[in-house]
């Protein structure tokens, strides 16, 4: 796939369709490619990579890149294409300035998981269902299914939903992803248990803001938590509950717009399952307003910013605190 992508990108650069290519650049190790912009076939030949560790979602970078002169070519995996659609819906990206090549995806690897099972990694290649890892301490074979990013283990869709062209065959939506299983488990807990669960998770937060900064739905030019006059500091929890509020407020803010791309959980250095907050909102929206997938189509009206006569009224659903 990598060679096909490079070849096609070089062609589009050569015929002037695009002036730059957004992709992944080879890292120091096999598992650490960095999102990068390439402006020539030579640059692509030198550093461009695409493999199972290219998990990062490139959509958000297009907010900036689509403001530049000329078209940007971007490679989008199915997840990433939902984010892009959502950004189009929110008028954050100029569609005319982006040339999208859809690429199929059968799950990306989680470097943290691979590293925790194989220390001293020198190389790692996927072969069918397994990952062959060469380490300083010998060779290790891992099950690919055990090494996937969380979002890939419950993949909602293999379908690239927006593209100018597709490389390889497009996949389909996966209605049986089981992605709400953990949410259901949380719902089944007593309020005390649930509170303990979230306190345990969120108190691990170090306020690095990686979740917010990587999130394609968090596209405000200036976040309220960054405003020196807002009274809520971005850097530290002034009291023991503040970091909980940060994540809860953020989840509210992206509710109805979160496509469940899973980047927040992928980047969290503390491995907090932040996606569960967002998934709870998605599940609730599905339950109360009908199935809705943010980013499935550009320009769709999210239930939370729309009104229909059939909408349920909150006071009907919850009367005196019980259903």
Partner 1 sequence: MKKVSRSSLDACFAAIAASQKLYLPVADGEKKRGAKYAPWFEGAVYSTAVNTVRSAKDFFFPQVEKMTRFKMDGKQIEVEDIRKENEDFVIFGVRACDAASFAILDSVYLSDPVDSFYQNRREHGLIMTMACGKPTETCFCSVFGIDAAEPAGDISCWMTEDTVYMQANTEKGEALLASLPMLEDAADDAAEETKAAIRQVLDKLPLKDLSTDAFGGDKLMKLFDSDKWNSLSEACLACGTCTFVCPTCQCYDIRDYDTGHGIERFRCWDSCMYSDFTLCAHGNTRTTQMQRFRQRFMHKLVYYPSNNNGTFGCVGCGRCLKSCPISMNIVKVMKTLGEGNE
Q: Which two tokens stand for residue 149?
A: 């990013």
**Only segment of 109-117, 180-188, 250-258, 278-286 that touches partner 1 (CB under 8 A):** 109-117
- 267, 276, 282, 285: residue in contact with partner 1 (rule CB under 8 A): 267
**Only segment of 11-19, 178-186, 205-213, 304-312 that touches partner 1 (CB under 8 A):** 205-213
* 316 is a contact residue toward partner 1 (CB under 8 A): no
* 220 is a contact residue toward partner 1 (CB under 8 A): no
CB of 39 closer than 8 Å to CB of 9: no
CA contacts within 13 A on the Cβ side of 76:
31
Rounded to a whole number of angstroms, the minimum distance from the CB of residue 13 to partner 1 is: 17
Cα 200 to chain center, whole Å? Answer: 23
- 19, 51, 117, 253: residue in contact with partner 1 (rule CB under 8 A): 117
- 236, 249, 312, 317: residue in contact with partner 1 (rule CB under 8 A): 236
Rounded to a whole number of angstroms, the minimum distance from the CB of residue 247 to partner 1 is: 14
Question: Which DSSP string do the residues of 8-68 spell out, in sequence order?
Answer: HHHHHHHTTS-SEEEEEE--SSTT--EEEEE-SHHHHHHHEE-STT-----TTHHHHHTTS
Distance between CA atoms of residues 73 and 100, nearest Å: 6
Q: Would you say how long the chain is, in residues?
A: 323
Long-range contacts of 38-41, Cβ-Cβ distance < 8 Å, separation of 24 or more? 38/9, 39/13, 40/13, 41/9, 41/10, 41/13, 41/14
CB of 280 closer than 8 Å to CB of 181: no
Of 133-192, binders to partner 1 (CB under 8 A) are: 135-137
* 276 is a contact residue toward partner 1 (CB under 8 A): no
Rounded to a whole number of angstroms, the minimum distance from the CB of residue 289 to partner 1 is: 32
Of 35 and 171, the one with the shorter C-beta distance to partner 1 is: 35
* 228 is a contact residue toward partner 1 (CB under 8 A): yes
* 244 is a contact residue toward partner 1 (CB under 8 A): no
Of 123 and 287, the one with the shorter C-beta distance to partner 1 is: 123
- 40, 67, 120, 185: residue in contact with partner 1 (rule CB under 8 A): 120
* 19 is a contact residue toward partner 1 (CB under 8 A): no
Instruction: Name the 3-class secondary structure at 165.
Output: strand
Residues in Cβ contact with 3 at an 8 Å cutoff, skipping those fewer than 6 apart: none
Which positions touch partner 1 (CB under 8 A)? 27-29, 31-37, 56, 61, 110-113, 115-117, 119-122, 135-137, 206-210, 212-214, 226, 228, 233-239, 263, 266-267, 269-271
């Amino acid at each position: 796939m990598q060679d096909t992508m490079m070849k096609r990108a070089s062609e589009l650069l050569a015929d002037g369709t695009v002036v730059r290519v957004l992709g992944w650049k080879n890292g120091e190790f096999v598992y650490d490619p960095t999102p990068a912009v390439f402006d020539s076939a030579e640059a692509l030949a030198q550093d461009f990579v695409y493999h199972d560790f290219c998990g990062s979602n490139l959509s958000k970078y297009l907010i900036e890149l689509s403001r530049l002169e000329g078209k940007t070519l971007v490679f989008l995996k199915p997840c990433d294409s939902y984010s892009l659609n959502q950004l189009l819906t929110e008028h954050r990206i100029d569609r005319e300035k982006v040339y999208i090549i859809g690429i199929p995806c059968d799950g990306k690897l989680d470097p943290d998981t691979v590293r925790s099972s194989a220390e001293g990694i020198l190389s790692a290649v996927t072969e069918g269902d397994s990952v062959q890892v060469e380490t300083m301490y010998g060779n290790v074979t891992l099950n690919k299914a055990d090494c996937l990013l969380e979002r890939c283990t419950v993949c909602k869709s293999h379908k690239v939903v927006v593209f100018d062209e597709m490389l390889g065959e497009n996949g389909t939506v996966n209605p049986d992803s089981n992605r709400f299983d953990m949410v259901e488990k949380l719902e089944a807990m007593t309020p005390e248990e649930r509170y303990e669960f979230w306190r345990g998770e969120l108190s691990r937060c170090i306020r690095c803001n990686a979740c917010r900064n990587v999130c394609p739905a968090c596209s405000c030019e200036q976040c309220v938590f960054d405003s020196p006059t807002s009274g809520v500091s971005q850097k530290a929890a002034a009291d023991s509950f503040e970091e909980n509020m940060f994540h809860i407020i953020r989840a509210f803010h992206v509710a109805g717009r979160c496509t469940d791309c899973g980047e927040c959980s992928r980047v969290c250095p503390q491995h907090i399952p932040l996606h569960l907050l967002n998934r709870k909102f998605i599940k609730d929206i599905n339950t109360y307003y009908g199935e809705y997938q943010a980013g499935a189509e550009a320009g769709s009206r999210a239930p939370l910013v729309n009104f229909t006569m059939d909408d349920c009224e909150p006071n009907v659903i919850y009367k005196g605190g019980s259903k």
